[in-house]
Amino acid sequence: MSDWTLMKQLPKAFEAASQLPPGVFSAIATRIEDAIADGSREHLIEMQDQLSGLLKLYASRSGDEVIGALQGSASPDSAAATAYALGQINFAQLLTAQAGTRRVEAAFAMLVEDHGDIVRMLLSRNMTGLELAEATGFRPETVSRKLKVMREAGISDYYREGTSLYNFLTPAAKALAPDLQSADEPRHGGVAVRRAIVSRQSSLQLHMRHALTFAPNPPSETASARVGL
C-alpha cells in the first residue's frame, strides 16, 4: 500500500487540482474500496496520510478563496464553497456507485459458478431443457428451476425453434465460463461428483474397481460351526 505511485505522479503531471482528469478520482475510489475490504487499519491510515498530503499540496497551489472553502471559513454562497460541497457529494456518489457495481459483478460471477454444470454444457452448444437434464444428470424439473434462476440473473436466455426451447448463454456469462473448472475436476458434491467418479471408475482395470481391504474375510458358517462358534 505504501507504494502508491499515483500519488507521486499527479503533482508532477498536473499543476492544479482542476486539471486532474475524471479517471483519477475513479482510481482513487477503487483504491479506497480495496483498502476498506482489506480490513487493515494500518493501510487505511497510510492512505489517509497520502491523500492528506496530496490535498495540502494542491491547496498550496490554490488561491485564498479555495483554501477558505477547504477550511470551512468561506462564505456559503461563494462559488468556491459551492464547488467544494458538490465535489464532496460527487466523490461519495462515485465511490458508492463503483462499490455497488463491483458487488453486482461478484454476485453474478458466483451465480455462474454455482450453475457451472449447466453453464459448461451451454458453452459447447445451445441445448433444450431435456438435453441439459440428460447431459448433467439432473432431473428435468431441477434443470427447469435452475434455468429460471439463470435467466433472471442474466446468465442465460432461450429461443423457440418449432416446439422446442433452446437455451443459450449471454455474452457476460460466456466471458466467465472458461474460468470454471472442467467437468472432470468437480469441486461441489452431488450428481456431478458421482458422474465423475463412475466415469473414472469404469476406466480402471477390473481388480481396481472395488475398494481394497486388508481385513480378513469373515469365517464361513460351516467353519464357525467346526470350531464351536
Helix (H, G, I), strand (E, B) or coil at 127: strand
- Helix residue spans in the chain (DSSP H): 5-13, 22-38, 41-60, 64-71, 79-114, 116-124, 129-136, 140-153, 171-176, 191-202, 221-226
Q: What angle do CA 109, 110, 116 make, to 5 degrees?
A: 90
Q: What is the average pLDDT across 76-85?
A: 91
Most confident option among 57-71, 91-105, 182-196, 198-212: 57-71
Domain range 113-208, CATH architecture: Orthogonal Bundle (1.10)
Query: In terms of Cα–Cα distance, which of 161, 167, 94 is closest to 130?
Result: 167
- The pLDDT value recorded for residue 100 is 66
pLDDT, tens digit, 9 for 90 and up, residues 118-155: 999 999 999 999 999 999 999 999 999 999 999 998 89
The domain spans of the chain are 5-108, 113-208
Cell of 161: 425453434
pLDDT in tens, 6-59: 888 999 999 999 999 988 988 888 888 888 877 788 888 998 999 999 999 999
Cα angle value 54/56/57 (rounded, 5°): 65
Report pTM.
0.47
DSSP at 206: G
| Per-residue pLDDT at 19 | 93
Is the model more confident about 159 or about 171?
A: 159
Burial 123-145, CB ≥16 within 10 A → b, else e: eeeebbbebbbebbebeeeebee
